[in-house]
Amino acid sequence: MDYKITVSIVYYDTDFNVFSETVNSLLNSSCVSRIYIVNNSGGEIPQYDDGGRIEIITPDRNIGFGAGHNLIIRDRYDILGDYHLICNPDVYFDGDVTRNLAVFMDSNPDAGLAVPKVLSVNGENQYAAKLLPTPADLAVRMFHQYLPDSFVERFNRLYELQDYSGDKSLRTGNLSGCFMFLRKSVLKKSGFFDERFFILMEDIDFSRRINTAAGSYYVPSVFIYHHRGRGSYKYFKQRMIHINSAIKYFNKWGWVFDSERKSVNRSLISVLGSS
Decide: residue 167, CB within 10 A, 0-12 exposed, 13-18 middle, 19+ buried: exposed
The CATH number given to whatever domain includes residue 126 is: 3.90.550.10
Please report whether residue 214 resides in a domain. Answer: yes
In this structure, what DSSP letter does residue 13 have?
S
| Better-scored residue on pLDDT, 153 or 235 | 153
Can you tell me the mean pLDDT for 145-161?
96
> 129 with 164: CB under 8 angstroms?
yes
Please report whether residue 191 resides in a domain. Answer: yes
Host domain of residue 113: 5-131+168-230
What is the signed CA dihedral for 89, 92, 93, 98, rounded to 10 degrees? 0
Distance of alpha carbon 252 from the chain centroid: 20
List all residues 6 or more positions away from 114 whose beta carbon is below 8 Å from its beta carbon: 101, 104, 105, 169, 181, 217, 218, 219
Please report whether residue 89 resides in a domain. Answer: yes
Name the domain count of the chain.
Answer: 1
Global pTM reads 0.95
Please report whether residue 271 resides in a domain. Answer: no
Please report whether residue 253 resides in a domain. Answer: no
**In the predicted structure, residue 147 carries a pLDDT above the cut 80:** yes
Can you tell me the mean pLDDT for 101-124?
97
Q: How far apart are CA 267 and CA 74, in angstroms?
A: 32
